[in-house]
Amino acid sequence: MRPEKYLKYLFLPNLLELFSTERTKEILSVNPTIVPVREEATNVIITAYVYNKEDIREYKNISVEEVLTLKQDNHIVWINIDGLRKDDVDKVGECYGIHPLLREDILSLHQRPKMEEIDDILFCLTHMLYYNEERKSVGYEQISLVLGKNFIITFQEDPTRDMFTSLRERLKLPTSKTRGKEADYLYYTLMDTIVDNYFIVMDKLRDSIEDLEEEIIRHTTKRSLAHINALRKELIVLKRSVFPMRDVVSGLIKSDSDLLTEFNERFYKDVYDHIIQAIDLVENYRDMIMGLQDLYINNVNLKMNEVMKVMAIVTCLLAPATVIGGIFGMNFTNIPMSDFHWGFWIAVAAMLLIPAWMLLLFKKRKWF
């Protein structure tokens, strides 16, 4: 016996945490009629790349005032702002012609991914997904992508989390395909990077589903039910971020904007195919989780049936002894064999032999 094997199931704080409703409140407490207050970022990191086919200039940790002077006609400008402040967004928006409604969307919280086209500006609001290993949960960061004439501006909420590092490294290479194309190709690359990251997060979720499936098959407990419930909540976050992206990319493909070249349309169709594949995977994960719930219920019912079967067999085996004891326990003066010397031992033998015979009969008929 190993007591530590079972102590983990008796540790109530962990079990209560698994059944906690805090994650449910976090996921479902989104009311579009209430405007949430965004806290101003304490740390803002602004990087910029000004490039064309021949050269590229990189600007790190620059100020908002420097950003306003980067716009050029013969170069493409990519400005990335990590950490949002209203004054910074307004200054950049006024300089680059971003409509106030779009600026409001950039600063808003819990927005659904969407695509807008206002005043020669293409705007996409997306979710960058990430997987929290400590909490075993799916989170997202809101990213706004603005495409204008020869410039792209990306707004990110968290300066400590950035998925565009590899893209920046490729952009610096003289052989980079992005350097020789229009700004919409870089826009496609940013969208593609965000969508490709969905699959990384979904792989993490798939591993959790596989571990849970093995746990349920090997040993079904109340913790298994809690894990199923937790995974269903994370699937809601995943679905809420992935499904709207289909409309976002579809809107870009159908757009008649001069900012999108016909040559690069094929690349956006490739992103659309990836989104469809991601949606199919989310649906598959949903079916798997529902299957795990059915498996859990079947295992619980099977255990209950096993218990009931054992209790029924025990009851049947005790029935002869109960009948014999009841007959010879009646308060009558004359009972057959009541004065017989071996009467008691014969009754006891019958109480033992009849259940033994019944046990062999049950076993022969494969009732257990």
**Residue with token string 């479902």:** 28
- Cα separation, 12 vs 9, whole angstroms: 8
pLDDT for 323 equals 84
Contact between 156 and 169 (Cβ < 8 Å): no
The residue to which tokens 């400008």 are assigned = 77
- CB-based contacts of 57: which residues, under 8 Å, 6+ apart? 49, 50, 51
Res. 38 pLDDT band, cuts 50 70 90 = confident
The number of beta carbons lying within 10 Å of the beta carbon of residue 83 is 18
Which amino acid is residue 345, in one-letter code? W
* Cα 85–chain centre separation: 29
Domains in the chain, CATH or no CATH each: 40-299 (3.30.460.20), 304-364 (1.20.58)
Q: Which of 14-23, 172-181, 232-241 is the most confident on average?
A: 232-241
Please name the residues in contact with 85: beta carbons below 8 A apart, sequence gap of 6 or more. Answer: 40, 41, 44
State the average pLDDT for the chain: 84
Q: Residues near 84 by Cβ (< 8 Å), separated by ≥ 6? A: 38, 40, 41, 44, 106, 107, 155, 156, 157
Q: Provide the CA 61 distance to its chain's centre, in angstroms.
A: 34
Distance CA 64, CA 44 (A): 10
Average pLDDT over residues 226-252: 90
Is residue 83 left, alpha or beta, with left meaning phi > 0 and alpha meaning psi from -120 to 50?
Answer: left
State yes or no: pLDDT of 47 exceeds 80: yes
Distance CA 88, CA 42 (A): 12
Round to whole Å and give the CA distance between 318 and 172. Answer: 84
Residue that is written with structure tokens 């008691």 in the block: 344
pLDDT at position 1 is 43
pLDDT for residue 34: 63
Of the ranges 132-141, 153-162, 205-214, the best mean pLDDT one: 205-214
Least confident of 17-21, 39-43, 102-106: 17-21
Provide the pLDDT for residue 92. 92
| pLDDT tier, 361 (very low <50, low <70, confident <90, very high otherwise) | confident
| Residues 87-95, mean pLDDT to the nearest whole number | 91
Mean local confidence (pLDDT), 106-115: 89
Check if the beta carbon of residue 156 is closer than 8 Å to that of residue 146.
Answer: no
**DSSP-H helix ranges across the chain:** 3-7, 12-18, 22-28, 64-67, 86-96, 100-107, 165-172, 183-218, 222-254, 265-328, 343-364
Share of the chain above pLDDT 90, in %: 32
pLDDT at 20: 62
For 179, the 3-state DSSP assignment is helix
Distance CA(282)–CA(266), nearest Å, equals: 25
Question: Span 79-103, mean pLDDT?
Answer: 91
Q: Does the structure show a pLDDT above 90 at 78? A: yes
Residue 61 main-chain phi, psi, to 5 deg: 50, 50
Sequence letter at residue 180: G
DSSP annotation of 339 reads S
Strand order of the sheet with strand 114-118?
56-59, 45-51, 76-82, 151-156, 137-148, 121-132, 114-118
Q: Is the pLDDT of residue 115 over 60?
A: yes
pLDDT at position 33, please?
60
Residue 322: the pLDDT is 83
Confidence of residue 278 (pLDDT cuts 50, 70, 90): very high
pLDDT at 5: 45
Query: How much is the pLDDT for 365?
Result: 80
**Whole-angstrom distance, CA of residue 110 vs CA of residue 28:** 11
pLDDT-derived band at 36 (thresholds 50, 70, 90) equals: low
Residue with tokens 């819990």: 110
Residue type, 134: E
Residue 8 confidence (pLDDT) = 44
Residue 11 pLDDT more than 90? no
Residue 50 has what pLDDT? 92
User: Structure tokens of 69?
Assistant: 């002077």
What gap in Å lies between CA 198 and CA 246, rounded to an integer?
13
Return the number of other C-beta atoms located less than 10 Å from residue 6's C-beta.
Answer: 9
- The pLDDT assigned to 99 comes to 92
Render pLDDT for 293-340 as a digit per residue (tens, 0 to 9). Answer: 888 888 888 888 888 888 888 888 888 888 878 877 777 667 777 677
